Amino acid sequence: MNKISRRNFNSITVKGIGGAAILSATPFACALGANQDKKSLGIALVGLGSYSTYQLAPALQDTQHCHLAGIVTGTPEKEKIWADKYNISSKNIYNYKNFDEISNNPDIDAIYVVLPNSMHAEFCIRAAKAGKHVICEKPMAVSVEECDAIINACKEAGVKLGMGYRLQSEPYTQQVKRFVKEKTFGDINFVSADAAYRSGGNPDQWRLNKALSGGGALMNMGVYAIQSAIYGTGENPISVSAQEFSTRPEYFKETDETITAQFEFPSGAIGNISTSHNFNANAMYVSGTSGWFRLNPANNYGPLSGETSKGDVLKFPHESQQKLQMDDFAKHVLFDEPNIAPGEMGKRDMMIVEAIYESIAKGGQKIALDFEPEFGFGG
């Protein structure tokens, strides 16, 4: 059984994206520095695609502890549109060439990288070098090597790093974690998690381009299924085996269409996940020794819904998940509250993704996983 172990993943050398030159740069002071009395974190969005346009920017109009302070775009015509809509000063608008000048802008405390996956590492590292806190949209990068580079760059610069894991901040997911921690339904022995949608339309979209996406359904929706399996058991997996299915090779020419995987956990619990760009699925189910609970839907933008074997219907007031997520990160920076989605979580998930791809390449062979204590969070 092949093994991704704690003895070798932390010794990965940083390659590409400037390599050691980036990590040997002189650390910048923490982004807030002399502004520790700030009541609201100024966030700049890097990449103004659909997620920034329809989710993050609107959410930043309702956040309590952070606000939209700037934008970074490679499309000049978007500059005026966003400036007019959100009253953004011209001095807070950047492009990808002058991005590094953001280091001199006290209005911007944090950078949210919302670019295609292959660009995450470059701009997270550049943001850290600029002395700005970093939020990285999922998946963290396209390899564990790049995750290490991001984490190390943020540590070198003395800035905070958070993942754009919106579900970690929403109440249904937090209730699931409470069920598991408090053993409301006994010891967990099985979890299933499905996260998928049917992709159609433009065959030239970046998610179908492996050079930009790093992978297909697994790198996109699969991260949600992996996370559900982990917080549904409260444990990190110790092994995974996986399978890939392709029914539309003419459309999914470079990226994976459908993947299923099976996990083993330290307690003896087992898990199944499925993810796809070719069918719709959005649910998680957890079985314990004294009952079960489930969420359906479990991973869309909400509202979510859930029920239990005790007859309870889970209902929480709906709020923007992105709003809750960004406020949680801002509270971590401003008030030293816990970082509920740290960079190590993103790295752990990428380790699992790489293990799944390795298992598929080896005909479904079981791949062992071994995590350092820093990966001890079960969620």
Which residues are the active-site residues?
138, 224
End-to-end CA distance of the chain: 26
Residues 298 and 220 sit within 8 Å (Cβ to Cβ): no
CA 301 to chain centre: 14
Residue with tokens 């911007």: 108
Q: For CA atoms 137, 347, 267, 3, give the dihedral sign.
A: positive
Burial readout 318-354 (b: 16 or more C-beta within 10 A, e: otherwise): ebbbbbbbbbbbbbbbbeeeebbbbbbbbbbbbbbbb
Could you list the beta-strand ranges (E) of the chain.
Answer: 2-4, 41-46, 66-72, 93-94, 110-113, 133-136, 161-163, 188-198, 239-245, 258-264, 270-276, 278-288, 291-295, 306-308, 313-314, 367-369
CB 275: neighbour CB atoms within 10 A? 29
With tokens 């609107």, the residue in question is 58
Structure tokens at 330: 């801002």
d(CA 159, CA 161): 7
Q: Report the candidate in 116, 146, 349 with the shortest Cα–Cα distance to residue 230.
A: 349
> What angle is formed at CA 20 by the lines to CA 15 and CA 25, rounded to 5 degrees?
140
Which residue blocks in 165-275 are alpha helix, DSSP H?
A: 171-181, 210-213, 217-220, 222-233
- Residue whose token pair is 């003395």: 158
Q: By the 8 A CB rule, do 26 and 153 touch? A: no
Query: For 14, which DSSP code?
Result: P
